[in-house]
């Protein structure tokens, strides 16, 4: 028997007996063996202790390699599980994967874990690391594994093996020390000591068994884990910084909006916040016009009969608000599409008129589950930059690609470049035949293909009336939110009786495209605030310039400067309070005002202003007219 191992540099070595990754590393250098985490065998990550029984190319993965992190994190989850079972006998193990910054493990236990428990558990984890228990991989048969876990009272594990895994496939079991083991795909570190100390348990929460709300609720423990202490520290620092960018905190600090108990999930916009809103709205309105949309406005409530016809009653009523008057029941609109179809239906349309594009800053109410609400990101009352395109099937692709280009331009104008594109496919609860869904999904794929973008697909996540392209952006703490969307809908136009007359004088049903770029104004503004940490670019800033006199002798001139700035279309304010300039600079800096125009006696005499930009200590003194001109030019919307 001869096994040929190829190294990354192309060198080869022949072995008589199957070597392990650890042995190979050891033969290269003891320090490499010490740093080794796993071994990559023909591109696949293997345990260092697993014999390599065939010729292969290998690469030793050390703890500083990016692939090492997921192994370290996954190991941390297992060490957590062992610690919990040692401390709390009777607790069942379920699943515990690595996450983006650490790991979690779900346990079945009647008593929830407390913060004090977390400290004890983390302490025990450190002990398990110190014990440096060997981690060994074993292969068990399906039947053997089910029996074993049932005998131990691990009913969740046993259920998973019975229902989630194929009976004829052998299973890998990882034994950690003599006592503890878990079913796992691996790979793992050779021993618990290699996990290191750069981990920290962070939070507990509930989680449903197999992600299903109708099944048992488990106790999830989350942790962070990194290769080094420094990396962990850096991550904690990052989280602290992210908290300062939180739009809920900044919304209060910058006096943009508030929410209160009487209107959960609904926003009270303050003057400054509404100014920001208007800046965004006016920008989007220009986009509407430039891309051939006609702006419309539909009622906020309509008789339920309309929502029964549209399919919302059957598919969406859990999320709708209702109201009643004179024995009629009305629904508060959760979407704008049926309203736009009514406007479309008010006239007769020729195929020559298509595509017809309607747009609306559509105010929608959705009765979202209370636990889903989250600042401006997830609300119950929101306004969409909604639009519906009525077109013929052969026009779908060009409409979708044009929309895509427009959307990417809008995101770039607001400073966003990292937009994730996803394609959400047919959900279980839906309208229309499979054949129609095939067509709709393929139409969107074709458009994305021709736009030349990369996308990921999300099976089961489409709207009940059609598949959708989703545009996602991340908030300050890395949560991803859907902003824009483009959806193909072959169902609703027919249900609501939309028609056009084709070239043969025959009535046809148009296709409807649902689209939004910023998505919800609320969510978009939340993302904007976090993206800029409150320091909005000049064109969006609620207050663009504050004119601050140094002495009251300059008050009159300061008012004149303010008027000149306002006359040039700038949002300018004078700060005539009897405060020192230091105080004013500090306060307006904290309020993230992008430009400060300081005027003292000197400026008043020479009719100049001294400009100071947010966060920049260097100042520049220039003639009043020149300053106005410069700021006005800079404040122009893209």
Partner RNA sequence: GCCGGCGUAGCUCAGUCGGUAGAGCAACGCAUUCGUAAUGCGUGGGUCGGGGGUUCGAAUCCCUCCGCCGGCACCA
Q: How far is the CB of 375 from RNA (least distance, A)?
A: 5
The region, left, alpha or beta by phi > 0 then psi within -120 to 50, assigned to residue 423 is beta
- What is the per-residue burial (b if ≥16 Cβ within 10 Å, else e) of 419-454? bebbbbbbbeebbbeeebbebbbebbbebbeebeee
Q: Which of 596, 624, 628, 635 binds RNA (CB under 7 A)?
A: 596
Structure tokens at 251: 């919304």
Structure tokens at 38: 């796993």
Is 188 part of the annotated catalytic residue set?
no
| 70/491 with CB nearer RNA | 491
| 144/560 with CB nearer RNA | 560
Q: Could you tell me the CA-to-CA distances from 443 to 400, 434, 632 in Å, in that order?
A: 9, 14, 44
Distance, in Å, from the CA atom of 41 to the CA atom of 180, rounded to the nearest integer, reads 27
Is 78 part of the annotated catalytic residue set?
no
217 binds RNA (CB under 7 A): yes
Is 352 part of the annotated catalytic residue set?
no
Q: How far is the CB of 448 from RNA (least distance, A)?
A: 17
Q: Which stretch binds RNA (CB under 7 A): 197-205, 281-289, 296-304, 347-355?
A: 197-205
Site for RNA in 298-327 (CB under 7 A): 316
Q: Which of 242, 259, 420, 566 binds RNA (CB under 7 A)?
A: 259
Is 131 part of the annotated catalytic residue set?
no
100 binds RNA (CB under 7 A): no
| 451/596 with CB nearer RNA | 596
Angle between helices 271-290 and 396-413 (to 10 degrees): 140
89 binds RNA (CB under 7 A): no
366 binds RNA (CB under 7 A): yes
Is 386 part of the annotated catalytic residue set?
yes
Q: How far is the CB of 161 from RNA (least distance, A)?
A: 21
Q: How far is the CB of 89 from RNA (least distance, A)?
A: 20
Q: How far is the CB of 536 from RNA (least distance, A)?
A: 15
Binding mask 367-396 toward RNA (x if CB under 7 A, else -) reads -xxxxxxxx--x---x-x------------
Start-to-end CA span in the chain (Å): 70
Q: Which of 96, 387, 519, 526 binds RNA (CB under 7 A)?
A: 519
Q: Which stretch binds RNA (CB under 7 A): 31-39, 201-209, 226-234, 524-532?
A: 201-209
| 36/391 with CB nearer RNA | 391
Q: Which of 213, 346, 454, 636 binds RNA (CB under 7 A)?
A: 213
Q: How far is the CB of 112 from RNA (least distance, A)?
A: 4
- Residue from 82, 92, 219, 384 carrying the catalytic annotation: 384
Site for RNA in 530-569 (CB under 7 A): 550-553
Nearest to 378 by CA among 283, 261, 481, 300: 481
| 26/342 with CB nearer RNA | 342
Q: Which of 46, 465, 471, 490 binds RNA (CB under 7 A)?
A: 465
Residues in the chain: 638
Q: Which of 18, 177, 186, 600 binds RNA (CB under 7 A)?
A: 600
* Maximum alpha-carbon separation in the chain: 97
| 85/476 with CB nearer RNA | 476
520 binds RNA (CB under 7 A): yes
Dihedral (Cα; 99, 101, 102, 103), 10-degree rounding: -20
H-helix or E-strand containing 597? Answer: strand 595-599
- Judging by DSSP bridges, how do beta strands 102-108 and 92-93 pair with one another? antiparallel
Q: Which stretch binds RNA (CB under 7 A): 23-31, 276-284, 435-443, 456-464?
A: 456-464
The label of the residue with tokens 């084709």 reads: 502
Q: How far is the CB of 446 from RNA (least distance, A)?
A: 19
| 16/617 with CB nearer RNA | 617
Distance, in Å, from the CA atom of 567 to the CA atom of 618, rounded to the nearest integer, reads 27
Q: Which of 220, 388, 515, 531 binds RNA (CB under 7 A)?
A: 220
124 binds RNA (CB under 7 A): no
Strand partners, 352: none
- Judging by DSSP bridges, how do beta strands 3-6 and 56-62 pair with one another? parallel
Nearest to 537 by CA among 615, 611, 620, 618: 615
Q: Give me the phi and psi of 223, to 5 degrees please.
A: -145, 165
Is 388 part of the annotated catalytic residue set?
yes
Q: How far is the CB of 104 from RNA (least distance, A)?
A: 8
What's 430-442 look like in SS3?
Answer: CCCCHHHHHHHHH
Residue count, binding to RNA (CB under 7 A): 81
Site for RNA in 422-451 (CB under 7 A): 424, 427
| 157/612 with CB nearer RNA | 612
Is 115 part of the annotated catalytic residue set?
no
Q: Which stretch binds RNA (CB under 7 A): 48-56, 116-124, 261-269, 338-346?
A: 261-269
Residue 84 near residue 121 (C-beta atoms within 8 A) = yes
Q: Which of 96, 190, 196, 265 binds RNA (CB under 7 A)?
A: 265
Residue 607 near residue 541 (C-beta atoms within 8 A) = no
579 binds RNA (CB under 7 A): yes
78 binds RNA (CB under 7 A): no
Residue 358 near residue 296 (C-beta atoms within 8 A) = yes
Distance, in Å, from the CA atom of 429 to the CA atom of 589, rounded to the nearest integer, reads 51
Residue 492 near residue 307 (C-beta atoms within 8 A) = no
- Residue from 75, 182, 386, 575 carrying the catalytic annotation: 386
598 binds RNA (CB under 7 A): yes
Nearest to 612 by CA among 533, 528, 550, 554: 550
Distance, in Å, from the CA atom of 448 to the CA atom of 187, rounded to the nearest integer, reads 37
Q: Which stretch binds RNA (CB under 7 A): 12-20, 64-72, 397-405, 457-465?
A: 457-465
Cα 497 to the chain's mean position, in Å?
Answer: 37
| 340/514 with CB nearer RNA | 514
The one-character DSSP state at 370 is G
Residue 142 near residue 170 (C-beta atoms within 8 A) = yes
Nearest to 633 by CA among 563, 547, 538: 538
Strand partners, 597: 547, 611
590 binds RNA (CB under 7 A): yes
Site for RNA in 405-424 (CB under 7 A): 424
Catalytic residue list: 337, 366, 384, 386, 388, 468, 514
């Amino acid at each position: 028997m001869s096994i040929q191992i190829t190294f990354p540099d192309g060198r080869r070595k022949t072995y008589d007996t199957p070597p392990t990754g650890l042995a190979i590393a050891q033969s290269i250098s003891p320090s490499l063996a010490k740093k080794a985490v796993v071994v990559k065998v023909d591109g696949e990550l293997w345990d260092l202790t697993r014999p390599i029984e065939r010729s292969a190319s290998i690469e030793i993965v050390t703890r500083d390699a990016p692939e090492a992190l997921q192994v370290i994190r996954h190991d941390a989850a297992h060490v957590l599980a062992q610690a919990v079972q040692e401390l709390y006998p009777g607790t069942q193990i379920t699943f515990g994967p690595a996450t983006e910054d650490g790991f979690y493990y779900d346990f079945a236990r009647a008593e929830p874990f407390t913060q004090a428990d977390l400290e004890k558990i983390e302490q025990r984890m450190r002990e398990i690391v110190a014990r440096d228990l060997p981690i060994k991989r074993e292969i068990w048969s399906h039947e053997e594994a089910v029996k074993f876990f049932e005998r131990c009272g691990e009913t969740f594990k046993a259920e998973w093996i019975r229902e989630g895994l194929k009976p004829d496939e052998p299973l890998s079991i990882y034994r950690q020390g003599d006592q503890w083991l878990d079913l796992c795909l691996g790979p793992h570190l050779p021993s618990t000591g290699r996990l290191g100390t750069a981990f920290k348990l962070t939070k507990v929460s509930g989680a449903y068994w197999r992600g299903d709300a109708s099944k048992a609720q488990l106790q999830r423990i989350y942790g962070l884990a990194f290769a080094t202490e420094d990396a962990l520290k850096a991550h904690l620092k990052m989280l602290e910084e992210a908290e300062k960018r939180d739009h809920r905190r900044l919304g209060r600090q910058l006096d943009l909006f508030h929410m209160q108990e009487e209107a959960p999930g609904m926003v009270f916009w303050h003057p400054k916040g509404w100014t920001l809103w208007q800046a965004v709205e006016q920008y989007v309105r220009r986009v509407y016009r430039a891309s051939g949309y006609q702006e419309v406005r539909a009622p906020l409530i309509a008789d339920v009969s309309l929502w029964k016809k549209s399919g919302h009653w059957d598919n969406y009523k859990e999320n709708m608000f209702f109201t009643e008057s004179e024995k009629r029941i009305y629904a508060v609109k959760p979407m704008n599409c049926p309203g736009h179809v009514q406007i479309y239906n008010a006239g007769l349309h020729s195929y020559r008129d298509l595509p017809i594009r309607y747009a609306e800053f559509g105010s929608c109410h959705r009765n979202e589950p209370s636990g889903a609400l989250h600042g401006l990101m997830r609300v119950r009352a929101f306004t969409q930059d909604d639009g519906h395109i009525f077109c013929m099937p052969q026009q779908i692709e060009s409409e979708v690609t044009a929309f895509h280009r427009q959307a990417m331009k809008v995101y770039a104008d607001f400073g966003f470049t990292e937009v994730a594109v996803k394609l959400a496919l047919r959900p279980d609860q839906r309208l229309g035949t499979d054949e129609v869904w095939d067509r709709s999904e393929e139409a969107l794929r074709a458009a994305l293909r021709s736009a030349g973008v990369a996308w990921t697909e999300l099976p089961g996540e489409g709207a009940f009336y059609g598949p959708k392209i989703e545009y996602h952006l991340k908030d300050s703490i890395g949560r991803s939110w859907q902003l824009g969307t483009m959806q193909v809908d072959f169902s609703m136009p027919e249900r609501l009786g939309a028609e056009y007359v084709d070239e043969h004088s025959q009535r046809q049903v148009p296709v409807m495209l649902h689209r939004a770029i910023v998505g919800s104004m609320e969510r978009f503004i939340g993302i904007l605030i976090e993206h800029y940490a409150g320091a909005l670019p000049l064109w969006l800033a609620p207050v663009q310039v504050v004119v601050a006199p140094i002495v009251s002798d300059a008050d009159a001139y300061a008012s004149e400067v303010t008027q000149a700035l306002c006359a040039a279309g700038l949002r300018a304010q004078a700060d005539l309070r009897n405060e020192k300039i230091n105080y004013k600079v500090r306060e307006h800096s904290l309020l993230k005002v992008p430009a400060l125009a300081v005027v003292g006696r000197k400026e008043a005499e020479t009719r100049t202003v001294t400009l100071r930009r947010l966060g920049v200590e260097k100042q520049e003194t220039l003639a009043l007219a020149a300053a106005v001109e410069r700021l006005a030019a800079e404040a122009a919307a893209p």
